Structure formats: structure tokens, C-alpha cells
Structure 1
Amino acid sequence: MEIGAIFDWDGVVIDSSAAHERSWELLAEEKNLPLPADHFKKGFGRKNQFIIPNLLNWTQNTVEIEELSYRKEELYREIIKRDGIDALPGIKELLQFLHSREIPCVVGTSTPRINVETIIDVLGIREFFKDIVSAEDVTHGKPDPEVFLLGAKKIVREPNRCLVFEDAHYGIEAGINGGMKVVAVATTHPIEDLGAAHMQVHRLSDLNYEAMLDLVR
């Protein structure tokens, strides 16, 4: 069964939304920059390099964008190291199930690699992932499917035989754009807003594994 699994990180493996939102707030305070009230939901799942110039309108200067992005993620990691973080319900069990079926898994995320590397060992789940595709590996962020298509190549699977696990609208769109089957988890958005995905669950612990696999059989 030549099936593969590609996991978004934030909102699928971990719920880091509060830490990410707080890091944007701290950055705005630190740099004395305005922060629109609805910025977080609009930007969730997008790369910082898109959010900073297009959603926040902080700067169009590429050097300044990279500096702000780096500082934002630094603040995020400080919060995680201080407060800790847990895996979302059902993720470890799902990874163990896929491992038992010899279905290779890869991370496909808009998150910087160092953030994933910081957390993956803390959670004790590195053994389940063949590789990580992160923000640094792609030119085009979600909803472009580049990150997921690269993930499929990493695990040597055809896109139409890959399951994508996502929580964000842009990520769901990216998976569909890549010709993959998308399982959406209602971590960030209400389940009724995730209808574009091929399967929706409140949490990964609710998954019917056989029905999930039927999507790509």
C-alpha cells in the first residue's frame, strides 16, 4: 500500500496558537508597531514573509522583514521553553498506527525548521517522521502546494496517494491544490468551517483510521 502522510505542525501536532499570537503581540510592543485585532486568524498558516508586508503592512523592505520574522520566532521559542507544550490529543496514537502500517510520515509546515526541531524531541516523536519540510525549504507558502509536493517527494509517494493533516484554511487549500486528500482537524477553526477538506474531525483522537485510509486506497 504505497500511501504517505504529511503533517502540518502548528494546530495538528501541537496547539501553539496562543504562543504564536503572544509572540506577535510582544514583537509589536517591542518594535512599537500597530497590530490589527484580526491579524492572527487572517495570517494563521501563512509564512511570516507574507504576513509582515501584506497583512500587517509593517514594511516592504526584505531585510527588515527577515529581521522581524527572526525576532518573532525567537520570542515564540522563548515562550515555549518557559511554558512548555504538549502534543495534541490523538497525534501520538495516529503516528504509531501509521508506523505499524509502514506508512511513511513527513512534516510539511510554514513553521521555521528551528521551531520544529526545538519541539519534536521534547515530544519524543522524531522517530515517526522521515523528514521535515519547513518554511526555509519552499519559495511559495500555502495555499501554494509546494511544501506538500516536496513532502511527498521526501517520502517517495505520489501526491494522490498522500494524506495531508491540516487545521488551517490555507493549508487545506494547499493540500487540495496538490492533488492530495486532506483530513482537517478543528483546532483553529470550527469544524463546520472545514468543509473543503475530504474528512473533518474535532480532534485526531476521533479519527476512524480505516475510513481515513479509504480516502487514498
Structure 2
Amino acid sequence: MMTTAFLFDLNGTMIDDMEYHVKAWTGILNEDLHAGLEDAYIRGQMYGKNEELFHRVFGPDRFTAEEIEHWSMEKEKRYQQAFRPHLRLIAGLQHFLDEAKQLGIALGIGTAAIPFNLDFVLDNLAIRSYFGALVTANDVAVSKPDPEVYLACARALQVPPERCLVFEDAPKGVEAALNAGMKAVVILSSLHGESEFVGYPNVVRMIHDYTEISPENLTCLL
């Protein structure tokens, strides 16, 4: 088998937590900052770095960098407190990771989350040892759909981009994979349905959880 890597987004892809992010953002934006935003609009803005979201919603000059950092961390703390009792891998992922490891497939995570949230998942679920590359919002200059996060993962794992398969739940992430020259498997969720991914030529499978696929079969698609 040629050297192959599986690269995972985190939120909504490895753990089913996006509704908890929606609730935390809604509290910060509407209750604390009185933005008066519709739920659908907030959902549509939930991509990229937190500071990018603040700039899209309020403009680049509304808050100082220190204020954005404060509200960003407050949001993540509220998210973690609410989601902690429900923290678990999406169905089938633990077995999928075990199989991939046995096959010698390199594994990495490329996420717009900050290390605070990545550590929350990896350490509480004891899965850090599976991954040879961890790239977070702090490691890239530009967020998805820019390909930087996935190209950085590929470099860290020393695997060519065309031998990397990306697992994503969001259109911006699939677009980032496309821009990196990588194929993608989509994990469907309540936040993003099948119709949102139809136009992406790099999508090889759409699934609801990892019980529907096997690592060995997916390597044949690269």
C-alpha cells in the first residue's frame, strides 16, 4: 500500500458538537453583545477562526484584539461546560481509527479550533496518540477554505497531498480540501445537508457516521 494519510476536521466531524457551538455563540452574540442576529445567520457564520467571525459580524474595528480574545474564550468555556457530559466520538470512529492505525495509515487533524478545544477532545477521549499531525487555528494565517491547514498536515506527515483523504462536515472544509488537491469524505449533520456538497468534485463519499465505511476500502479511492 502506498503511503496514505487521513486528515480529520474536528468539530462536527469527529464529535457531534455543532449544536453546542451554536448555543454558545448565540449566547455571546445576542445575549452578551446584543447583536440581535437570527439563528440561521449565526449558523452560517460558524466557520474559520473566532476573530474572523467577529470581523464578519461586527466589522474589523468594533472590538479590540483583547476584547475578541476575551469573548472568544468565554464562548469556548461555555461550549465545553455544556458539551462535556455528551463528549464522545461519532459512532464507529474509534474502530475506524484502530483499523487505520493497523493498516499503517498516517492520521492528522486540521481544524479551525484553538488548542484549548482540541486538547479538550483529545485528552478527555484519550486519542491523542493516534495522530501524527495536529494543526489548529494558531498554526495558520488563513482559515478554510484556504488549503493551508490541510497542506500543513500533509507536510507534517510527509505524505503528498494527492495521497491524503480529508474528512469534513462543512462546505468550507471540503473546499479547503479541494484547494489542497485532496479528496474528501463528508460527514452529514443537522448543520449541513447533502445538497450543500453536491457541487464539489472531490467528494468521494457522504456518510452519517463511520460505521458506513472502512479505511481499507477508502484507500482504494485515492
TM, length-normalised to structure 1:
0.91
Structure 1: distance between partners of 2:36 and 2:60 = 12
Alignment of 1:1-217 (within 5 A): 1-28=2-29, 29-54=31-56, 56-57=57-58, 60=61, 61-63=63-65, 64-81=67-84, 83-187=85-189, 188-195=191-198, 196=200, 197-216=203-222
Supply the RMSD in Å over aligned alpha carbons.
1.8
Which runs of no fewer than 5 residues in structure 1 stay unpaired? none
AA at the equivalent of 2:69: E
Deviations 1:75-126 (A, max 9, x none): 2222234x34111112111111110111111110001111010121222211
Distance across 2 between alignment mates of 1:177 and 1:62: 32
Shift of 1:62: 4.5
- 97-106 or 61-70: which moved more? 61-70
Q: Amino acid of the residue matched to residue 72 of structure 1? A: K
Q: How many residue pairs align between the two structures?
A: 214
* Higher deviation after alignment, 200-209 or 7-16: 200-209
Secondary structure of the residue aligned to 2:10 is coil
- Counterpart residue identity of residue 69, structure 1: S
Runs of 5+ unmatched residues, structure 2? none
Q: CA deviation at 1:178?
A: 0.2
CA contact (8 A) 1:185 1:202 kept: yes
Give the direction of change, closer, same or farther, for the CA distance of 1:168–1:19 in structure 2 (3 Å limit): same
CA contact (8 A) 2:110 2:135 kept: yes
Q: Distance in 2 between matches of 1:57 and 1:215?
A: 42
AA at the equivalent of 1:35: L
Kindly provide the amino acid, as one letter, of the partner of residue 177 in structure 1.
N
TM-score, normalised to structure 2, is 0.89
